Amino acid sequence: MRQFAVRRALSLSVLIIAGEAIFALPFVLPRVFRPTILETFGITNTELGGAMSVYGVVAMAAYFFGGPLADRFQVRKMMAIALWGTALGGLCLATVPRLSVLVALYAGWGVTTILLFWSGLLRATREWGWCAPTLGTKGPMTSRSSFAT
């Protein structure tokens, strides 16, 4: 039973770390290093905002398709592909591409972070929360969850 609790805690920790890490490239990096990115890429704040807007449009569309996709495919594979795809985008970003490639990169990140990763993350956390066999419960809405042990 203790081993089960450790595995659950480790699983949740990995989900949290992955959930934070995947958004570092599209959001945290430009927010923290905005002046440096603008200077290095030779773009304006408006052009960077345009690329991020493309991300938003792609992400908004991806929300509609992500749920059915997560129900159809293995979550581990979806999340792994998303993490690797986002990382490959980071390698592309490291080459300091021109603006059109940067816009395409943000569109790709919209696919990897939302369509593949976010929908898989939601399903994984839902399954994680419903897993409480040691107390004979069916989910987190019952009297006690597996956090009690």
Whether residue 42 is predicted with pLDDT greater than 90 in this model: the reply is yes
Does a structural domain hold residue 130? yes
Burial bucket for residue 66 (CB in 10 Å: 0-12, 13-18, 19+):
buried
Number of domains in the chain: 1
- Once rounded to an integer, what is the mean pLDDT over residues 10-18? 86
Domain membership flag for residue 146: no
Q: Confirm whether 149 is domain-assigned.
A: no
Parent domain of 96: 2-134
- At 99, is the pLDDT very low, low, confident or very high (cuts 50, 70, 90)? very high
pLDDT at 32 over 50: yes
Cα–Cα distance for residue pair 97/103, rounded to 1 Å: 10
Taking the model in full, what pTM does it have?
0.80
- Residue 143 resides in a domain: no
The SS3 assignment for 86 reads helix
DSSP string over 58-111 = HHHHHHHHHHHHHHHS-HHHHHHHHHHHHHHHHHHHHT---HHHHHHHHHHHHI
> Is 147 within the bounds of a domain?
no
Domain contains 139: no
- For residue 103, being part of any structural domain is answered with yes
Q: What is the pLDDT of residue 144?
A: 41
* Other beta carbons within 10 Å of 73: 15
Least confidently predicted of 35-39, 56-60, 80-84, 123-127: 123-127
10 found inside a domain: yes
Confidence of residue 4 (pLDDT cuts 50, 70, 90): confident
